[in-house]
Amino acid sequence: MKKSCTTSELWIGFLVLFFCAFNLLGNVSASIHEYKDEQFVRKFNAFFFHGGTEGLYASKSSSIAYPHKPLEGKSFIRFEDVVFLRTEESAYAKNEMQSRTGLIETIILEVRDRERIGDAFAKSNALCCTPKLAQEKFCTVGEVIIQRNQDNPLWPLRIQTFFEGKNQEANMLPATVEINSTGMYYLYFMFCDPELKGTIVRGRTVWKNPDGYLPGRMVPLMTFYGLASLAYLVLGLFWFLRFVQFWKDVIQLHYQITAVIALGMSEMALWYFEYANLNATGSRPMVITIWAVTMTSVKKALSRVLLLVVSMGYGVVRPTLGGVTSKVFLLALMYLIATEALELVEHLGSINDFSRKTKIYLVLPVVFLDASFILWIFSSLSKTLEKLQMRKSMVKLDLYRKFTNSLAIFVLLSIAWVGYELYFNASDPLSELWRISWIIPAFWSLLAFSLLVVVCILWVPSSNPTSYAYSGETGDDYDEEAISLTTGVWVISDTGTKLERKEKKGSVSTDYVTDQREDPEEDKRL
């Protein structure tokens, strides 16, 4: 009763999480960044709001090829319906006759020019020009300090929007900023007047690369997912042909491997179409995104279950998992929910506005459950190898030794890659290496596919299934873990089996003595 209650609670949590994801769909965006009453944050002597960060490739010279589409092949940032709203107190404190009573500045800069914003060279931490700095430098009081790039005098780019009289709203004029240099670009809305404190921003900006709306660091991933889906298709065809050829000799484990291959193929295809749609429209297709996220979570959970049951010797040294089944199911369900939560929040939010703290809180349960799977897998492998050594089943023992060595290599690669990923993120806080950051998620997909290929090769359907299938050569097929998790019936049955074996041995010995004394006359003489 307790187990069913726990499972029900997990399912309720999963449903709540799923409905919460639908509530977030209004914020689903990609290269279209929406601002809904966003607040400005004080930093030094300025107030700013981070409007977006994306890797953009340089524009192509395609205006001649597309005369009716001047933005075709262009890379740009477009401002649409951006409005700044100040407080009533700030508006009424101004003179109605003044034409300009407040200034909001829009700053676009490439990451390598970040030190050109503010008085970084004098190390005064001032972002806004003060009267003292105005005397020493070429800056205007009340404006953000920008040290112009000599190679490109227009950058960092400044766009000014003024409040007029006692108006609470200031509408930014529609503008499209063309990008002619490849780089990671930052957008900030800033003001220096303390009386504008409490001002909010509404509207949206559209960021586009030459070939579509897909952010620069995600462009290579679309190609990767396309190739990965083809790789799963080739593996699926190979496995299907072997499955059909030896369908009479397949075991239950082969069906699980088939399911993982099908899920992997669907996952990669869905991510490819999700990225393609994102590239064409600039917004995530919510239905495809949710399906892709769910498919990824289910496939990850099922893959780990597959490795676990293989390590336990399911279908090879034991016909069932016994009482361990409920534990495996519970761990898989917890992993599915944790992974779904992480993937939903990461992919249903804005591309670059995902909170690092939120990600840490969601990553920790996934890491803990992954560690639990790894420990359980290697513990089960140790028991399975020991059992095969006792039975002197050399073919199966060799099979499991190869599997153990392969799994150990993959775990070591995973640990090494986690270390590299931590180093990569620590050494690139400003995303300057955005053009190669796609290899981080791509590696995990490639590693999972490679491990699946190893499992398919080791457990490929064949005409000689005795090399990996359970043959029932002994009655001692349930390990101590399974016995301890089930009722006492298994223990009684096991004891009864041992007693029965002893009786059989005793009867054999008696029969042997009886056979030796078949002549009654000889018995009399003895």
| Per-position pLDDT tens, the chain of length 526 | 444 444 444 444 444 444 444 343 333 334 788 898 899 998 888 999 999 888 899 888 644 445 556 667 889 999 999 999 999 888 888 777 778 888 999 999 998 888 888 875 445 678 888 888 888 767 888 888 888 777 777 888 999 999 988 888 999 999 999 998 898 999 999 999 888 889 999 999 999 998 888 888 888 999 999 999 999 999 999 999 998 988 887 888 888 899 999 999 999 999 999 899 888 888 777 888 889 899 999 999 999 998 998 888 776 666 666 677 888 889 999 999 999 888 887 777 544 444 455 666 778 888 899 899 999 999 988 988 888 888 777 878 888 889 999 999 999 999 999 999 889 988 888 778 888 989 999 999 999 999 999 999 988 888 765 555 555 544 444 444 443 333 333 333 343 334 334 444 444 444 433 344 444 444 444 3
Give the pLDDT confidence score for residue 430 in this predicted structure: 79
Shared domain for 227 and 101, answered yes or no, is no
Beta-carbon contacts of 282 under 8 Å, excluding residues fewer than 6 positions away, are: 30, 31, 32, 206, 208, 213
45 and 107 in a single domain? The answer is yes
The reply to whether 489 falls in a domain is no
Task: Name 212's bridge partners.
Answer: 209
Q: How far apart are CA 237 and CA 235, in angstroms?
A: 5
Per the CB < 8 A criterion, the answer to whether 32 and 203 are in contact is no
Helices (H) and strands (E) in the chain, counts: 13, 10
What is the count of structural domains for the chain? 2
| pLDDT in the model for residue 318 | 66
Closest CA to 156 of 125, 110, 123, 122: 110
In a shared domain, residues 255 and 117: no
Same domain flag for 162 and 234: no
CA 449/CA 441 separation, integer angstroms:
13
Segment holding 31, helix H or strand E: none
For residue 518, being part of any structural domain is answered with no
| Domain co-membership, 382 together with 454 | yes
In angstroms, the Cα distances linking 404 to 5, 384, 418, 454, 479 are 36, 11, 21, 11, 19
Amino acid identity, position 227: L
How far is residue 210 CA from its own chain's centroid? 27
pLDDT value for 321: 66
Let me know if residue 75 belongs to a domain: yes
Picking from 208, 232, 252, the residue at the C-terminal end of a domain is 208
Which of 469, 486, 520 is at the close of a domain? 469
In terms of domains, do 154 and 276 share one? no
Q: Which of 346, 352, 280, 284 is nearest to 55 (CA)?
A: 352
What is the distance between the alpha carbons of residues 102 and 87, in angstroms, rounded to a whole number? 12
Could you say which DSSP state residue 144 is in?
A: B
Q: Name the residue among 294, 287, 372, 292 with its Cα closest to residue 328.
A: 372
Question: Do 261 and 395 belong to one domain?
Answer: yes
In a domain, 400, yes or no: yes
**185 and 226 in one domain?**
no
Query: CATH code at 385?
Result: 1.20.1070
DSSP 314: B
- 501 within domain boundaries: no
Cα separation, 363 vs 343, whole angstroms: 10
CATH number assigned to the domain comprising residue 122? 2.60.120
Distance CA(411)–CA(311), nearest Å, equals 14
Cα 172 from Cα 113, distance rounded (Å): 24
Q: 34-73: string of b/e by CB count within 10 Å (b at 16+)?
A: bbeebebeeeebbbbbebbbbbbbebeeeeeeeeeeebeb
Furthest CA-CA distance within the chain: 141
Give residue-wise pLDDT tens across range 206-224.
999 988 888 888 889 999 9
Q: Identify the DSSP state of 349.
A: S
CA distance linking residue 111 with residue 152, whole number of Å? 14
> Per the domain annotation, does 23 fall within a domain?
no
CA 326/CA 10 separation, integer angstroms: 14
Three-state SS at 220: helix
Would you state the pLDDT for residue 499?
Answer: 36
Other beta carbons less than 10 A from residue 164's beta carbon: 14
* Domain presence at residue 263: yes
Q: Tell me what pLDDT residue 509 has.
A: 41
Q: Which residues contact 503 (CB under 8 A, 6 or more apart)?
A: none
Query: What Cα–Cα distance (Å) separates residue 145 from each residue in 109, 137, 160, 187?
Result: 13, 9, 13, 15
Same domain, 199 and 266: no
Shared domain check, 159 and 256: no
Do 193 and 258 share a domain, yes or no?
no
Handedness of CA 466, 469, 475, 478 (dihedral sign): positive
pLDDT of residue 155: 86
Comparing CA positions, the residue from 334, 338, 374 lying closest to residue 359 is: 338
Tokens at residue 206, please?
């559209």
CA distance 487 to 493: 11
Domain that holds residue 34: 29-61+71-208
Cα 465 to chain center, whole Å?
A: 37
Nearest C-alpha neighbor of 108 from the set 40, 179, 182, 31: 179
CA distance 452 to 307: 9
CA–CA separation, 353 vs 347, rounded Å? Answer: 11
* Residue 465 forms part of a structural domain: yes
Query: 191 and 266 in one domain?
Result: no
Residue at token pair 């929406």: 34
Q: So what's the pLDDT on residue 81?
A: 92
Residue where one domain finishes, among candidates 177, 208, 239: 208
Residue 454 is predicted with a pLDDT of 93
